[in-house]
Amino acid sequence: MQQVSWSSDPGFLAQDDRFYTITKGIIDRSAEVGFLYPDIDKPGELSQNSIELVERAILRKARQCVSGYGAEDFSVQHDVIYQSRDNGSSDRAARAAEMAVRAYRGHASLLEPVAAGLSNHLYTLLSHEAIASLRTIPPEDDLLYDWKWLSSSATFLSAYWC
């Protein structure tokens, strides 16, 4: 079972993030006018918190508060416009998105006209080997990963794809 004891002397940072900003303001002001009171002890340093992070924590907590209890600290000063990644900023992204839409909808048309010499290139590429019989299945070892897939495609492609 958990036992909880009440502490009447918690640090100021345990209370509310707004105490940090107030205390930091007091210490900063004391440092500015400290030369006027050389006999007075200088205040200690605060923990190394980033004031920007403390302000953001105050804003985050202000969303859950009501007026008079912290909601007045809410601000949009740190809000930024979200730059989405799907805005089609590149030509490659636009082409990929278009192809995805076409594949999803079952469109079989081309986006752009094909290159002028495509038919001649395909004929040259696929005419190096004799056409395999449709009834024979290539050996499985020939279709698995092999170094030949990284070499010139003209040497093996027509044997399997014609």
Q: Could you read off the pLDDT of 77-94 as tens digits, one per residue?
A: 667 787 776 665 678 888
CA dist 43 and 31 (Å) reads 8
CA dist 132 and 159 (Å) reads 6
In a domain, 145, yes or no: yes
In a domain, 39, yes or no: yes
Q: Could you read off the pLDDT of 136-158 as tens digits, one per residue?
A: 776 777 677 777 667 766 666 66
Query: Domain residues for 155?
Result: 118-162
Query: Which one of 73, 91, 109 terminates a domain?
Result: 73
The closest of 28, 55, 56, 52 to 42, measured between CA atoms, is: 28
In a domain, 100, yes or no: no
Whether the per-residue pLDDT at 133 is higher than 70: the answer is: no
Q: How buried is residue 32: exposed, middle or buried, by Cβ count under 10 Å (0-12/13-18/19+)? A: exposed
Using CA atoms, how far residue 157 sits from 31, 79, 118, 126, 154, in Å, is 80, 56, 16, 6, 6
How many domains does the chain divide into? 2
In a domain, 104, yes or no: no
Rg (CA), the chain: 36
Note the helical H segments in 37-117.
Answer: 51-62, 91-105
In a domain, 16, yes or no: yes
Residues 16 and 69 in one domain: yes
* pTM summary value: 0.36
Does residue 86 or residue 52 have the better pLDDT? 52
In a domain, 85, yes or no: no
In a domain, 92, yes or no: no
Q: Length of the chain in residues, anyone? A: 162
- Residue type, position 10, single letter: P
In a domain, 137, yes or no: yes
Q: What is the pLDDT of residue 86?
A: 64
Query: Which one of 54, 73, 92 terminates a domain?
Result: 73
